[in-house]
Chains A and B, each alone.
Chain A
Amino acid sequence: MVEALTIVLAVGVTRNWRTAITGTLTAFVALAAIVAVFGPALRYIPIDTLRLIVGALLLVFGLQWLRKAILRASGFKAKHDEDAIFKEEVAEIQANATDWYGFVLSFKGVFLEGMEVVFIVITFGGTERGHYLYSVTGAAIAFVVVALIGAVVHRPLSRVPENTMKFAVGCMLTTFGIFWGSEGAGISWPGGDVALLAVLGFVLVMSWALVAVLRQRHAKLTVAT
C-alpha cells in the first residue's frame, strides 16, 4: 500500500489529482469485483481441500516475502527507498505528460499492490468460514490509515519501517501456511488452534537466526572486498 501511495502521489503532484484519484478508484472497483466473485465461490470447496490449497499458496507466497525481508535485513538486498521511487515516477510522468498515462499509472500501481491485499483477504476469509467481514474490515482500515497519512503529509512515506512490516507479514503468512497446509493434509495439531502461537514462535526464531547468520556472512564479504 505504501508503494501504491507513492505512485498515486507522484501522479497527483506531477499531473493532476483528478487523474490520480480516478485511476485509484477504478482499481478499487476492479479489486472489489475480484473479492466479490472469488470470495463466495470458495464456499463450495470442502474445507480440508481449501485449507490444503490455501496453505500451499500462503506458504509459497509468504516465504517469498520472508526471503526478501531477510535479505534486506541482513544487507544483501537494498531497502525500499520511497523518496527515490517517487523521483523516478515523477520523471517518468513528466516524460509522458498525458492524463491517460497518469490514469494507467495510478490504476496499475493500486491494482498490482492491491492484488496482494486481495490475495490475503480471500485466502484468510475463505479458510475461516464466514469471517470475510474481519478480513475485509482489516484491509479497509489499513487502506484508510495509509490514505489519511498520505493526504496529511502529501509526500512519500519514506519513514515507514516498510521492511519490518514486510518481515512481520511474511512471518504471519508463513505461520498460517504451515498451520492450514498441515491441517488440510490431515494433520492434527497438539493443542488445536493454540498451536498457531507455537508455529509463529518457530517462524520468528528461524527468521531471526537466518538474519543473524546472513549479517555475519555479509560483514565478512564486506571486509574481504
Chain B
Amino acid sequence: MPPPLLRVQELAKTYLRRGSLTHPGSRVQAVKGVSFSIEPGSTLGLAGSSGCGKSTVARCISRIERPDEGEILFEGHDLAALSFRELRPFRPAIQMVFQDAATAMNPSFSAAEIIAEPLLIQGIGTAKERAARVRQAMQEAGLPAEWSGRAAHEFSGGQRQRLTLARALVLKPKLLVLDEPLTGLDVSTRAQIANLLLEVQAAHGITYLFLSHDLFLLGHLADRIAVMSDGQLVEEGPTPQIMASPQHPETRKLLAASGRRLAPAGAGR
C-alpha cells in the first residue's frame, strides 16, 4: 500500500466565544482528537451535520486555521508546526473549494482574472504561460473559453462553482479540500458538478477530502467515509460498508436523512 498523502493525528482546535457584559467569554472545543489518513488519488468523505466540526478540520488542513494540537502530515511534512511563511511552498498543493461560490470571488474580476489570481500570488509563469493555464483550467472545469471576459455575477450558480473549481485546479493541486461544494445548487446542477469532480479526479489523480452532510452524495463520490459528531470522529470505513451497515447512531441518523432520497418519492407514504 502506498504511504498516505495526508495523515491527520489527534487534531484539536478550540475557539474563543466572545462574551458580553453579562456573560463571560467561553471556550468552545470545535474539534478534539481527530485522526485519519487519505491515500493518494482517493476520496475521503467527511460527513456530519452542521456544527459537528468538519469545516474546522478542513480549515486546519488548508491551514486557514492553526490547530491547537495534533499533526497534519502532508507527504511527511507536519503542516501544523509550520509558520505562514514556511507554509508558502505547500499552498499550491492543497487547494480549497468553498460552498458559497459567489462570496468566494472578487466581484469586479473577470473569470480569467479570478482563475489567474492564484498563479499571480504564487508568482508562477509568464503572462503567456498563465493565460495558457487559465484556458486549460477553464476547459477542465467545463467552461467555454469565450466566457473568460465575463464577470462572476454573469454566471449561474452551477457555472460559478465550475469557476471556483477552475481556480483551484489552475495550481495543479495534489489535494483538493471541498467544503459542501454542491449544497446550494439545484438537484440537476448538483449531479453535473459531482460527475465533473469524478472526471477531474480520474484525469489527474487528485486526492479529495469531501465534506458533506449528504451521505447519498458521498456514497457516489467517496472511497471511504468518516463521520463526525460533536467535534469527534465517531466512525470511519470503506464507503460500501458504511452505507450497508452503519454502526454509530450519528451515521444511522445521517443515512436515514439521505435515505429519503434513496426511495423514489412516489414509492409511498
Do A and B belong to a common assembly? no
CB within 8 Å of A: which residues of B? Answer: none
CB within 8 Å of B: which residues of A? Answer: none
